[in-house]
Structure 1
Amino acid sequence: MAAGPIAQAARDFFGWEHLRDGQEEAVAALVDGRDVITVLPTGAGKSAVYQLAGTIREGITVVVSPLIALQRDQLNQLEETPRAPKGVAINSSRGERAVEEAWDALAEGAAEFVFLAPEQLAKDDVVERLRRLDVGLLAVDEAHCVASWGHDFRPDYLRLGDVRERLGRPVTVALTATAAEPVRAEITARLGMRDALVVVRGVDRPNIDLTVHRATTDDEKCERVIDEVLALPKPGLVYTATRRDSEEYAEVLRSHGLRASAYHAGLPARERSDVHDAFLDDEVDVVVATNAFGMGIDKPNVRFVAHASVPDSLDAYYQEVGRAGRDGDPASAILFYRSEDLGLRKYFVARGVDQERAAAAYRALAQSDSPVKATELAKRLEISPRSATALLNLLAEAGAVSVTRRGARPRAGFTPAAAAAGAEEASERRERIEESRLEVMRRYAETRDCRRRVLLGYFGEDLPEPCGHCDTCRAGTAKEAEEEVDTPYPAGVSVKHIEWGRGSVVEVESDRITVFFEEQGYKVLALDAVTENHLLSLV
C-alpha cells in the first residue's frame, strides 16, 4: 500500500500528523497481506502498527497481550481517541455478562479490536467464536515471550501457531522491543510465518547510562546496592533473583526512609495489584521485584533500573532496562555483578528430566483412545498441571508426541523409553542454549570495551564510536572502532558447522565471530581457526 493513504488514515482516525521510523513500512506490508516482525524500541510506537493496520484492513483485529494490565492500557489508548475503532477485552477479570457483551459488540460490528491473553486462546470455544468473526489481523504483542518464556512461563504462547491455523492463517504481526536474530527466527517458526518482513529500528536508548559495579562478596554487593539506590533519583526499579531477596532489600530500603515495596509472584494478587498501581501513581519510590514485575509498565519517569543480580540473558536484561527513561530524560541502568551469581542462574537453568515420569507420560498417551490435555495428564500422573505441560513440551520437542488444541497424541515409532530419552535430549539442548546465554551475559558484565557497543552488537547493531555514556567509556578502556571486517560470514548470515550444525552469525569482530547454533546456543569462534579448519560453510 502506498504511503499516502496510510498517512491519511493516521491523521483521520488517530490524529497522528507524523508516523515514526519503521511504522509506515510495517503497516504497508500488513495492509498488503504480508506477515511482519516488528522490533521497535520501547516508546517508539509498536502498538500504533497494529492499531493503524487493523483500522485499514477488513475484519476483526485480534491482539494477543500477556497481561491484563497491559490490555487495559492498550484499550484505553483506543478509547481516548474518539475517531479510532472501538475495542473490547476478554480476560479472566471480566464477568460472564461483560464477556458476552464484548462478543456481541464484535459480532455486530460495534468493536473491531479484541484483546486477549494467550491463555484465552487455549480455549476451544474462544477460538471457534473468533473464527466465525472473520479475523483480518492477528497481532502478537511482547512476541519475545514465544522464545524466551514459552517453554515454561507461558506455554500457551507455544500454541499460537496452531491457533493461527484455526483462524485461517490471518495476516500476522509480531511485536517486541528487543529480539536478537535467533529470537526473531524462533518467533517466525513458532507462529508459522512465511516470508515475513522484518522491520528493525534502533534498539539503542542513548539516554540510559550503562554501568556495572563488580563485587567480590555478597555482603559487599548488597551494601553497594543499598548505597546506590539511596543516592539515585527516584522513582526506580530494583530486580532481584529470588523472592526472598526482593523482600529483604525492600525492608532495608524502608528502614532508610524510602517508600519501597516488594513484588513477586508469591504475593497475593491484590497486593501485587496495589504495588503496581502505587508505583504508577508515584506513591512508591522503589519497587524491588523479581522478573514477575515490569511487562506492561508504561511509566515514563522511571529514573533507574538496577539489577541486584545478573539476569539469565542479555535479552531479558535489556527488556528490563528499557523500562527506564521512557520520557527521554537521562536515566541509569546499573548491574551489580559477582561472577559467582552466575552459578545461581545456572542452577535455575539446570532442569533434568525424570525418565520414569516422561516414560509414564508417553505410556498414558499411548493407552488413551483420544487426545489427552495437560490437565488430564497431570491427574493421571499425580503431578502439577505446569509439570505436565513442561513434560508435553519436551516430548513434543523430541518429536515423540504431537500437541493440538484437543490435546496430545503419541507419534508412531517410539517406545516409552525412547520417548523419555528424547525428552531428556531436548531438555539438555535447552539447557546448553540457556547456559550459553549466561556466557553472553558474562561477556557484557566483564567487558572493558564500550558497554553499549557490546550490548548493541548482540542485537545486530554497529556502534561506530564509543558511546561516552557508560562506565567503560568514562574509565577510558573502551576501544576506538575498528575498521570494517572483511569476512565471508557477515552478521545475519546462516552457516553450518561441521560438528554443531546450523546456526546464524550474530556478531563479527576483527578476529572472531559469535554464532547462535540451534543445538548448542551461542559460540565464539576464532576466525583464523574457522578458516584454517574449514569449520563453517554458508547455507
Structure 2
Amino acid sequence: MDTALRSRAADVFGWDLRPEQETVVDAVLSGRDALAVMPTGSGKSAIYQVAGLALDGPIVVVSPLVALQEDQVVGLEDHPEAPRAVTINATRARRDLDEAWGAVEAGGARYVFLAPEQLAKDDVVDRLRAAGVALVTVDEAHCVSSWGHDFRPDYLVLGEVVERLGRPPVLAMTATGSSPVRAEVVERLGMRDPLVLATGFDRPELRLEVVRHSDADAKRDALVEQVAGLEGDGIVYVATRAETLVYADELVEAGRRAKPYHAGLRVRDREAVHHAFRDGDVDVVVATSAFGMGIDKPDVRFVVHADVPESVDAYYQEVGRAGRDGEPALATMHYRAEDLGLRRFFASGSPRPASLRAVFDAVPADGPLARSDLAAASGLSARTAGRAANALVDAGALSDERDGLVRVPGGPEHADDAARAASERAADRERIEESRIAMIRRYAETDECRRQFLLGYFGDELPEPCGNCDSCSSGSAAESHAANGSSDDSWPTDAAVEHAEWGRGTVMSTEDDRLTVFFESAGYRTLALADVEERQLLERV
C-alpha cells in the first residue's frame, strides 16, 4: 500500500493496517478479486473502508443483517473525515430511501450497504450500475457456500449481479471459511484469479469450556448462576425464541441488565436492544442466532451457550463475538446430549416437489425468466417461488444468468426430473447438516484440547494443547489424541481424496490414529487411519 494511502487511512480512521490487510487492499485497488479469511475482530471491514478512500465510485457492501449494516454505518460516522455511508433495505422509510439513492447517484455516498435480497431487484441493480460501482464487497461470504453452516440462497444471485454491475472487483470476507467453503465461495461469486488470504482461525484470548448436564432445569439454573456472577458484558445464545424471554427474565431477577433478542421482534425493538448493548445500557443479551452477525462490540467478555449450536462453524462464529479487543474472554457451552434432537429438527426441510415443478415449468425452455417475474409465472408466493428457484439452482437444474433464470443445457428437461434432482440435493444437505451435528457433539464430549479440536475442524492444526480450555486445565488434553497434524505427511490438510461410497472429499485434519475428511455428499467423516490404510478406503486425487 503506498505511503499516501497509508497516511490517509491514519488521518481518517486512526488506523495502521497490518501487512495482511494491506495485501488485500493492494489486490482490490489493482483490480484483482480477493477472498479474505480472517478471525472475528481482525479488521476485515477496514480493508474495504480503506480501499474506499482510493477508489472512484461507490463501494457496494453486501451484508446479511440490517443490524450489521447499521453498525458499520455508525462506525463510519464516528470518523468525521470518512466518506459517507448509506443503507438501502426494506426497513427504511420511503423518504430515507429516496435520500440515500440521491446521495449514491450524485456521488455523495461512497459506501452502500444492502442485503442480498435487494440485489435480486432489477431496478436496484440498474441504479447501482448507473452509479459506476467500483468494488463489490461480500461480507459473511460463507453464506454463499452450500457447504457452509449458514448457507443463504439469496447469496446465489451475487455472481450474476456482479456481471450486471459491469464486473467491478469482488472482495469476499469471512471469519469461518474451511477449504471446501473457500473453494465454493470463489466459484459461486465467479471470482477471477483471486488473491486468497487465510490468516488462521486461532483466537488464543478465548477460554473454551463445556459444562455437561443431564437435567434441563439444572442446566438452566447453572447457566443463570454462572452469568449472574460473570463480570462485564456478554451474550447468552439459546435455541428458541421462547427461551430468550425465559432466560432474560431470570437473569434480570438475578441482577443483570438483560434483554431478549430474536428475529420475531419488531425491527425497531431489535434495533433498540442492539443499540443499548453497544452503548452499555444493557449488559447481557439473550439471543437466538439472529444476533449472530450483527455484533460489532469489542469488549464482550463472555459468550455462553444455553443449548448446543447447530454446528462447530456456527459455534466458533458466535463465540468469536467475545474478546474482539484482544483481552481475555470466556466461551462456555452448557451441554445436554438430549438437546441434539432439536438441532436435528432444525437441520431438516426442503421445498415441496409441487413448488419445484411449478418454478421449473415457469422458466421457458428457450429463454430467460427474470426473477422479478417468477412469482407471477409460477403462481406461487414470492418467498416460496424464490426458495424453490434457489433449490433448483443449487441442484444444477436452473442457472442464474444476467437476464434471469434459465434452464441448464444438458440438465433436466422435465419438471419431475428437476424436482427429483433438487430433492436429492436437499437430502445431501441434510446429511451434511447431520454430520455437522455429530461434530459439535464430538466437540462437546471430547477430552482433547478443545482449541486443537476446533482448529483441526477448520484445517488449521495446533501442534500442542493450548493451555486455555477446560480439558487442558483438567489434564485430560495431555492424555488424549488431538488434531495435531501428526499424519500430515501421508494425508496433508486440504488434500483432495476420493471414497468409493462418499465420492470426493477434502482432508481437514489428522491425528495419531485418525483423520477427518469433508465429503461433498456426506459431510464430515472421521476415519481410523488403520482402516484407511489396510482397506484402502481413500485415494489421493
CA shift, 1:79, in A, is 3.5
Question: TM-score if structure 2 supplies the norm length?
Answer: 0.91
Change (3 A) 1:267 1:161: same
- SS of 1:503's equivalent? strand
Deviates more, 1:432-441 or 1:94-103: 94-103
CA shift, 1:198, in A, is 1.6
Structure 2: which 5+ residue stretches go unaligned?
Answer: none
- In structure 2, the partner of 1:392 is 389
Counterpart of 1:249, as a letter, is Y
CA distance in 1, matches of 2:185, 2:485: 33
CA distance in 1, matches of 2:149, 2:462: 33
CA shift, 1:380, in A, is 5.0
CA distance in 2, matches of 1:427, 1:483: 33
Change (3 A) 1:333 1:184: same
Change (3 A) 1:387 1:374: farther
CA distance in 2, matches of 1:297, 1:393: 28
CA shift, 1:375, in A, is 7.5
- In structure 2, the partner of 1:538 is 540
CA shift, 1:470, in A, is 0.7
Change (3 A) 1:223 1:299: same
- In structure 2, the partner of 1:67 is 65
Percent of pairs with identical residues:
53
- SS of 2:180's equivalent? helix
Matched, 1:427 2:426: yes
Residue 163 of structure 2, aligned match among 142, 150, 165: 165
> Where does 1:462-477 land on structure 2 (aligned, <5 Å)?
462-477=461-476
> Where does 1:257-268 land on structure 2 (aligned, <5 Å)?
257-268=255-266
> Where does 1:265-304 land on structure 2 (aligned, <5 Å)?
265-304=263-302
CA distance in 1, matches of 2:21, 2:356: 46
CA shift, 1:239, in A, is 0.8
- In structure 1, the partner of 2:343 is 345
CA shift, 1:13, in A, is 4.8
Deviates more, 1:362-371 or 1:176-185: 362-371
8 Å contact from structure 2 (residues 107, 131) kept in 1: no
- In structure 2, the partner of 1:442 is 441
Counterpart of 1:398, as a letter, is A
Counterpart of 1:514, as a letter, is T
Residue 503 of structure 1, aligned match among 502, 505, 517: 505
Change (3 A) 1:237 1:78: closer
Counterpart of 1:446, as a letter, is E
CA distance in 2, matches of 1:298, 1:381: 41
Change (3 A) 1:355 1:92: closer
8 Å contact from structure 1 (residues 150, 156) kept in 2: no
Change (3 A) 1:3 1:511: farther
- SS of 2:145's equivalent? helix
Deviates more, 1:512-521 or 1:411-420: 411-420
CA distance in 2, matches of 1:35, 1:120: 22
- In structure 1, the partner of 2:527 is 525
Deviations 1:117-174 (A, max 9, x none): 2222111111112212222211111212223799987432111111011112221111
8 Å contact from structure 2 (residues 485, 511) kept in 1: no
8 Å contact from structure 2 (residues 144, 151) kept in 1: no
Deviations 1:56-107 (A, max 9, x none): 3443321112233322332334334344433333333444444344344334
CA distance in 2, matches of 1:3, 1:491: 35
* TM-align CA RMSD: 2.8
- SS of 1:292's equivalent? helix
Matched, 1:401 2:398: yes
- SS of 2:193's equivalent? coil
CA distance in 2, matches of 1:270, 1:83: 29
- SS of 2:318's equivalent? helix
CA distance in 1, matches of 2:336, 2:417: 41
Residue 196 of structure 1, aligned match among 184, 194, 197: 194
CA distance in 2, matches of 1:279, 1:79: 18
CA shift, 1:536, in A, is 2.8
CA distance in 2, matches of 1:4, 1:525: 51
- SS of 1:189's equivalent? helix
- SS of 2:515's equivalent? strand
Structure 1: which 5+ residue stretches go unaligned?
Answer: none
- SS of 1:135's equivalent? coil
- SS of 1:132's equivalent? helix
> Where does 1:310-325 land on structure 2 (aligned, <5 Å)?
310-325=308-323
CA shift, 1:22, in A, is 1.4
CA shift, 1:257, in A, is 3.3
CA shift, 1:370, in A, is 6.6
Counterpart of 1:135, as a letter, is V
Question: TM-score if structure 1 supplies the norm length?
Answer: 0.91
8 Å contact from structure 1 (residues 374, 389) kept in 2: no
- In structure 1, the partner of 2:330 is 332
CA distance in 1, matches of 2:373, 2:242: 30
8 Å contact from structure 1 (residues 495, 538) kept in 2: yes
CA shift, 1:37, in A, is 0.9
- SS of 2:290's equivalent? coil
CA shift, 1:4, in A, is 4.6
Matched, 1:461 2:460: yes
Counterpart of 2:439, as a letter, is V
Total equivalences in the alignment: 536
CA distance in 1, matches of 2:149, 2:450: 30
CA distance in 1, matches of 2:394, 2:314: 23
CA distance in 2, matches of 1:498, 1:92: 48
CA shift, 1:209, in A, is 1.0
- In structure 2, the partner of 1:105 is 103
CA distance in 2, matches of 1:82, 1:234: 29
8 Å contact from structure 2 (residues 62, 115) kept in 1: yes
8 Å contact from structure 2 (residues 65, 115) kept in 1: yes
CA distance in 2, matches of 1:502, 1:285: 46
- SS of 2:477's equivalent? coil
- In structure 2, the partner of 1:213 is 211
Matched, 1:238 2:240: no
CA distance in 2, matches of 1:297, 1:352: 30
Change (3 A) 1:368 1:249: farther
CA distance in 2, matches of 1:136, 1:273: 30
8 Å contact from structure 1 (residues 21, 201) kept in 2: no
CA distance in 2, matches of 1:334, 1:148: 28
Counterpart of 1:45, as a letter, is G
Deviations 1:478-511 (A, max 9, x none): 1378684353321122222233222211112222
- In structure 2, the partner of 1:41 is 39
Change (3 A) 1:92 1:359: closer
Deviates more, 1:287-296 or 1:315-324: 287-296
